[in-house]
Chains A and B, each alone.
Chain A
Amino acid sequence: MKPFDGTASYIATPELKIAVNAALTLERPLLVKGEPGTGKTVLAHEIAKALGRPLIQWHIKSTTKAQQGLYEYDAVSRLRDSQLGDPRVLDIGNYILRGKLWEAFTAEAPPVLLIDEIDKADIEFPNDLLLELDRMEFYVYETRQTIRAEQRPLVVITSNNEKELPDAFLRRCFFHYIRFPDEATMERIIDVHFPKLRRDLLRESLTMFYELREVPGLKKKPSTSEMLDWLKLLVAEDLPPEALRTKDGKTEIPPLYGALLKNEQDIHLFERLAFMARRERS
């Protein structure tokens, strides 16, 4: 089996590679946590790309039920059809809608199944999927058939820690926590995304970015993905590095800050800090 070794567009730390390969070899779901915007969802895309496997995505919402991932029996359509005298009504199989897990279990090549933001769902959601993820099979009562995965898909599960996951579920997963990248890693990440970025602009923007993350009391610290968005804007606007830093100011509000600061409290906080810094200087 081909081991995962990062891709041209995704910098994977050694620990992340160990985690992905362990999940692949052990055939266990990989549970990925980390600050928002550190590339949890992208990881699944990149694994699929690196291993040449199809990607099946299941995005979880607060209303998602575990059963929807297996299959759904559309009783309402069947009832309506029966009232209208539709002949389709005789075969119950016509009203079974396949879910993402079914899709993943029956795919021709073993796919990568992304279960995105599992913590958004109800607290019982992970428990309802225990057996299905463990044995990679489930039973369809309506048609009395068992769906079984011939080749086990690699399951990548992401969580933002909004809810605690049940122990029984965690026990079956391999766990990886994506830490916020340090400056060196960040530089490599940016390099991958903006290969032709001017060195000085990179330095200035990185310094500014890490300074911004250090600002106490920010409601939402800017993340890797926001850094990349911001750089994209800086490049598009063709700003010189000097524009990032006024000659005497550390806490000037950065240009195009909208990409980094996402709520008005943070912007107010930052403006007040900048104001105080100016007042101290004068």
Chain B
Amino acid sequence: MFTRFFVALRDAKLPVSLSEYLTLLQAVKLGLADYSTENFYHLARGCLVKDERNFDKFDRVFGACFAGLESLFDAIEGEIPEEWLRSLGERLLSDEEKRVIEALGGWDKLMETLRQRLEDQKGRHAGGSKWIGTGGTSPFGADGYNPEGVRIGQAESRHRRAVKVWDRREFRNFDDTMELGTRTIKLALRRLRRWAREGAATELDLAGTIGATARNGGLLDLRMIPERHNKVKILLCLDVGGSMDDHIQICDELFSAARSEFKHLEHYYFHNCPYERLWRDNRRRDQAIDSWRMLNGYSADYKLVLVGDAAMSPYELMEPGGSVEHWNAEAGAVWLQRMLDHFPHAVWLNPTPESHWRYTQSTAIIRRMLGERMFPLTLAGLDLATRSLNH
């Protein structure tokens, strides 16, 4: 009876196996669910999902499968009330645009299309900034409603409704989609490994033991050495939003590969150019972190990897107050230089093709600041970047 649910979980790319599903059935048969939906929800989650980052996906599938009428769309609509969206549309749309909407079949039809599109979307993008509505060409285009786009899926008005446990989606922050195609990136990153033998001596040093035993007149003299491990430290700073939306996938892949490859990996996000504030969350909805604090917090042996398209107006880089989103007292270039001074090992990875770089003034400036240590975000570029970081 839950086969549809199981298949839906698999379709949502949750790593659920048949044996786990059988465990769940066994548990239900043993009466552990106690004939209550909420108990069943907790039981199913414990049996099938083994990583809290997948809880959010699970909640969505569970909601869609078991709430019947309360389908996927309702859960999301709960966050942006429809009236709100409607009134926003009434206010901002020109008559001509309203006619276009009429052509699509009016508001209800529009909502229906929106719902379908939400379902078509393969899970939420980890980048978080590619909400439906930033594209500009779809009926939910950014240009139609407001310059920022209708950002569907924000948390602000979540509390407006009494929602079910799974609809609360309290684990959305843990969702960090993606493990696809990262293997090749991992292999490229492997070059950054720095092996060191530090800490407690736990491995038998065979050669040393033989030598020492021989010197000891045949009486055993064991010699131990510490295990070797990777001691490289990486500080990853990623540009998110705006023109970086086109490169979300490759950045995600890089991030998730790096995350599993390095023990000492720290990450921050910025928009266009690092200024006096950085963010830990890629939606940059959390409280910003003082860049000074970031600089003080990490020693110079961290290797700095900046990821961004470096495409912005030169003012954003060179002038105080040039930032597109806030007033910055010091120019972006000052902050960038500060970071480069602090971290001698630094590279900039640029997802745009190398052939385009010379057409953008800001790219040229940043490239010069980094002393040509800007590389394309491709496997070949990553290869060059890791070599450069190792110098």
Q: Interface residues, chain A, CB within 8 Å of chain B?
A: 14-15, 18-19, 21-22, 25-26, 28, 31, 33, 63, 76, 79-80, 83, 164-165, 167, 170-171, 173-177, 179, 216-217, 265, 269
Contact = CB atoms under 8 A, between A and B. Distances in A.
Contact of B46 (A19, A63, A167, A265): A19
B287 A18 contact: no
Interface string B1-42: 000000000000001010110010011001010000011001
A76 B222 contact: yes
B43 A22 contact: yes
B148 interface: no
Contact of A22 (B32, B200, B219, B222): B32
B46 A216 contact: no
Contact of B50 (A19, A63, A171): A171
B219 A83 contact: yes
Contact of A217 (B39, B260, B290): B290
Contact of A175 (B50, B219, B286, B297): B50
Select the residue from A14, A19, A26 with max chain B CB neighbours within 10 A: A26
Interface string B188-211: 000000000000101000000000
B220 interface: yes
Give the top 5 A-B pairs by smallest Cβ distance, nearest first: A216-B287, A170-B50, A177-B52, A15-B42, A175-B50
Nearest to A217: B289
Contact of B202 (A22, A63, A79): A63
A80 B49 CA distance: 50
A177 B43 contact: no
Contacts of A21: 32
A258 B265 CA distance: 28
Contacts of B49: 175
Select the residue from B52, B220, B290 with max chain A CB neighbours within 10 A: B52
Interface of B: 15, 17, 19-20, 23, 26-27, 30, 32, 38-39, 42-43, 45-47, 49-52, 55, 170, 200, 202, 219-220, 222, 227, 260, 286-290, 293, 296-297
Contact of A76 (B38, B47, B220): B220
Nearest to B287: A216
A28 B222 contact: no
B52 A217 contact: no
Contacts of A80: 220
Given A26-B32, A175-B47, 7 more contacts: A18-B46, A22-B32, A26-B23, A80-B220, A170-B51, A217-B287, A217-B293
19 contacts: A15-B42, A25-B30, A25-B32, A26-B26, A26-B27, A26-B32, A165-B50, A167-B50, A170-B50, A171-B20, A174-B46, A174-B47, A175-B45, A175-B49, A175-B50, A176-B46, A216-B288, A216-B289, A217-B289
A208 B52 CA distance: 28
Nearest to B170: A179
B46 A164 contact: no
A23 to B, nearest CB: 8
A218 to B, nearest CB: 10
Contacts of A76: 220, 222
Select the residue from A22, A33, A83 with max chain B CB neighbours within 10 A: A22
B220 A22 contact: no
A264 B220 CA distance: 48
A174 B17 CA distance: 13
Contacts of A177: 52, 55
B318 to A, nearest CB: 28
A80 B200 CA distance: 24
A33 B30 CA distance: 25
A25 B27 CA distance: 8
A171 B17 contact: yes
A14 B39 CA distance: 8
Nearest to A169: B50
Nearest to A23: B46
Given A175-B49, A216-B286, A18 B20 contact: no
Nearest to A25: B30
Contacts of B17: 167, 171
A164 B200 CA distance: 24
Select the residue from B27, B219, B287 with max chain A CB neighbours within 10 A: B27
Contacts of B30: 25-26
A165 B52 CA distance: 12
A177 to B, nearest CB: 4
A175 B20 CA distance: 11
A70 B88 CA distance: 66
Contacts of B200: 63
Select the residue from A19, A167, A177 with max chain B CB neighbours within 10 A: A177
